[in-house]
Chain A
Amino acid sequence: MNNSPYFLKPASVQSVMLRVLLALLPGIAVYVWFFGAAVLVQIALASVTALLAEAAMLKLRGKPVMMFLGDGSALVTAWLIALTFPPIAPWWLTVVGVLSAIVVAKHLYGGLGQNPFNPAMVAFALMIVAYPSLMSQWPAVGFTDFLPQWHAIFGPRQLDAITMATPLDALRTALHTADARATVAGVLGSQATFGNIGGKGWEWVAAGYFIGGIYLLQQRIITWHMPAAFLATLLVVSSGFALFDPTRFVGPSFHLFTGGAMLGAFFIVTDPVSGCTTPRGKLIFAAGIALLTWIIRTFGAYPDGIAFAVLLMNIAAPLIDMNTQPPVFGHKRKGDGRP
């Protein structure tokens, strides 16, 4: 018979994970609207792979399969992978990505709650290092014909008609490799991929994720610290540099509403397992990710820096936590008796 406390608040890991999935839905809906149903195929593919891999690993490790499979954590990882990978990525790319996330990044470390790295971001970073070109082929916005996309995923691939560089990639390529006189304004005005605020279509997907994020905040599944620190830092850094030299540095709206920034702010950065847990640590952690994201996006070799930034801060998370422990009851400053 168990010891006190004898009754518990109704809450479970499963319900937390399900609400995270629910919060992803608005963003997914917009994503499908602009980029086609291939996203859904990827989600299905990733989910099935993730559940199978999770079940296999649990079995191998001698853990109760059904109990842990039902917690939904594998699904969250799978969905995040599907949403960060190109929707027209070949099927095996997604499968290998999911396997590396579930098997290597999660279960080799002891499974749920014990992985020091964000599994979805491990998958993304691994795949973009290994297959940089495949990871940069995105469907053209508004080109939502399903059949070519299906072929792109399961072959035979004929991509020329349907792909397009992502806004981040297009801007980086233009600024880095084109002639030295290229300016941000010139590039943004010249290509169809750029929209009013961020990337065309991308800005609305970001809005969808933002709504989901607000839901997570309202459900108290995440705290304000991480999204706020992430978005604020990205805003401040990008505005600062855009004001300093608007020809070389693109402004904050582009950074916030393009690529994985919103998804990252509410769904990736906020992963509690691999991130920081103290209030101050959360702020430092998320701000660090934003800063590194901006640096990698602006100067680095990869189109989006969020995955690497998250992994880099994952590395630093234990140390940040250790050094930001909140004062314990009675060990605070004397006379701090505010109500």
Chain B
Amino acid sequence: MFDALFVMALGAIVLGAALGYAAVRFRVEGDPLVEKIDAILPQTQCGQCGFPGCKPYAQAVAKGEAEINQCPPGGEEGIHKLADLLGREFKPLSAEHGIEKPKAVALIDEQTCIGCTLCIQACPVDAIVGAAKQMHTVIAGQCTGCELCLPPCPVNCISMEPIPESVENWKWKYPVIKLVAAQEVAR
């Protein structure tokens, strides 16, 4: 009986000492994973995930404090990528954080704008130019479509315009399998 206790105690002490040493010796600093997650996020900085920007969300995901399905602009594809990176199961986009929408940019109705600069302060990526009492305008190429400029506008002059399809950004569609053609073969 004593033997058994002694042996187990000895084992515990030796192993504990080894683990303790290793914990000091191999201490981990920083988390390069955050960068990897942040690189997948769409950088709209819209806050729909419940975190103030993409980086904080990435940090939360890396720590396991947030789910991977809280980013509506990233869409299903972003969730798939995160699931792949983190080895987690894919989950559909969580509805409480919003829905996936076609990409859009903000457009300021220049007739209505009173030049209050509130939207300029709200824009996380400095995509709105203008000065106090002057008309503002959105640099469409830099707008991420985060919609953060909509609520502060006192005259509701900002609207979201979906990006139109043009010859430049047109995409080839997924080839559709045509089953109607079967009859023609039989003919």
Chain B binding surface SS class: loop
- The answer, yes or no, to whether A8 is at the interface (CB within 8 Å) is no
Please, what's the 1-or-0 string for B150-187, where 1 marks a CB less than 8 Å from any CB in chain A? 00000000000000000000000000001100100000
A67 to B177, CA, bound (A): 13
- The answer, yes or no, to whether A337 is at the interface (CB within 8 Å) is no
A64 to B178, CA, bound (A): 12
Nearest B residue to A12 via CB reads: B185
CB-CB under 8 A from B182, the residues of chain A are: 64, 66-67
Interface residues on B, range: under 10
A76 to chain B, nearest CB (A): 21
CB-CB under 8 A from B178, the residues of chain A are: 2
6 sample A-B contacts, Cβ–Cβ < 8 Å, listed by A number: A2-B178, A64-B179, A64-B182, A66-B182, A67-B179, A67-B182
CB-CB under 8 A from B179, the residues of chain A are: 64, 67
CB-CB under 8 A from A64, the residues of chain B are: 179, 182
CB-CB under 8 A from A67, the residues of chain B are: 179, 182
B136 to chain A, nearest CB (A): 44
A96 to chain B, nearest CB (A): 33
CB-CB under 8 A from A2, the residues of chain B are: 178
Binding site for A on B (CB under 8 A): 178-179, 182
Which 6 interchain pairs have the tightest Cβ spacing?
A67-B182, A64-B179, A64-B182, A67-B179, A2-B178, A66-B182
B117 to chain A, nearest CB (A): 50
A221 to chain B, nearest CB (A): 21
Nearest A residue to B178 via CB reads: A2
A2 to B172, CA, bound (A): 12
CB-CB under 8 A from A66, the residues of chain B are: 182
Nearest B residue to A66 via CB reads: B182
B176 to chain A, nearest CB (A): 10
A274 to B182, CA, bound (A): 27
Please, what's the 1-or-0 string for A55-89, where 1 marks a CB less than 8 Å from any CB in chain B? 00000000010110000000000000000000000
A2 to B179, CA, bound (A): 13
A66 to B182, CA, bound (A): 10
A2 to B180, CA, bound (A): 13
B41 to chain A, nearest CB (A): 30
B179 to chain A, nearest CB (A): 6
A67 to B182, CA, bound (A): 7
A2 to B178, CA, bound (A): 10
A261 to B182, CA, bound (A): 39
A123 to chain B, nearest CB (A): 30
A64 to B182, CA, bound (A): 9
A67 to B184, CA, bound (A): 12
Nearest A residue to B185 via CB reads: A67
A64 to B179, CA, bound (A): 8
A66 to B185, CA, bound (A): 12
A1 to chain B, nearest CB (A): 10
B185 to chain A, nearest CB (A): 8
A283 to B45, CA, bound (A): 53
Q: Which parts of A1-17 form the interface with B (CB within 8 Å)?
A: 2
A5 to chain B, nearest CB (A): 13
A236 to chain B, nearest CB (A): 44
A55 to chain B, nearest CB (A): 16
Nearest A residue to B176 via CB reads: A2
A66 to B183, CA, bound (A): 11
Please, what's the 1-or-0 string for A1-43, where 1 marks a CB less than 8 Å from any CB in chain B? 0100000000000000000000000000000000000000000
A64 to B181, CA, bound (A): 12
A186 to B159, CA, bound (A): 94
Q: Which parts of A277-309 form the interface with B (CB within 8 Å)?
A: none
A113 to chain B, nearest CB (A): 14
Nearest B residue to A67 via CB reads: B182
A274 to B166, CA, bound (A): 43
